Amino acid sequence: MLFFRQEILWFFVQMLLSLQHVHSKQILHRDLKTQNILLDKKKKAVKVGDFGISKVLLSKSKAYTVRFLAARVTVADGEIINIH
């Protein structure tokens, strides 16, 4: 499915506004990826889905991203030693 530039910008703005709203409620999505962005071309609407691992912040502390590697990668002394 192809989209015009204006449609893409409209969807992008909606996505940002939805995340701004969620963050204003002190909620972190924590699994934002293309599979969790739902587009309705007919209604020209965006929905953010799958809040299964989201987190409600108890204070206005700063959020951060935890670095991790896939379960199939073995790391020792900070170096990848085996990829399964």
Q: What is the three-class DSSP state of 69?
A: coil
Q: Which residue's structure tokens are 């953010």? A: 48
Number of Cβ within 10 Å of residue 76's Cβ equals 8
Beta bridge pairs of residue 47: 38
pLDDT at 82: 57
Question: Which structural domain range is residue 48 located in?
Answer: 5-83
User: Would you name the residues annotated as active-site residues?
Assistant: 31
Residues 73, 61: contact at Cβ < 8 Å?
no
pLDDT in tens, the chain (84 residues): 687 888 888 889 999 999 899 988 888 888 889 999 998 878 888 999 998 888 888 876 665 555 555 555 555 666 655 555
pLDDT at 17: 92
pTM of the model: 0.62
Count of domains forming the chain: 1
pLDDT at 37: 92
pLDDT at 3: 78
Count the alpha carbons within 13 Å of 4 in the hemisphere toward its beta carbon.
5
pLDDT at 81: 57
Count the alpha carbons within 13 Å of 33 in the hemisphere toward its beta carbon.
5
CATH value at residue 12: 1.10.510.10
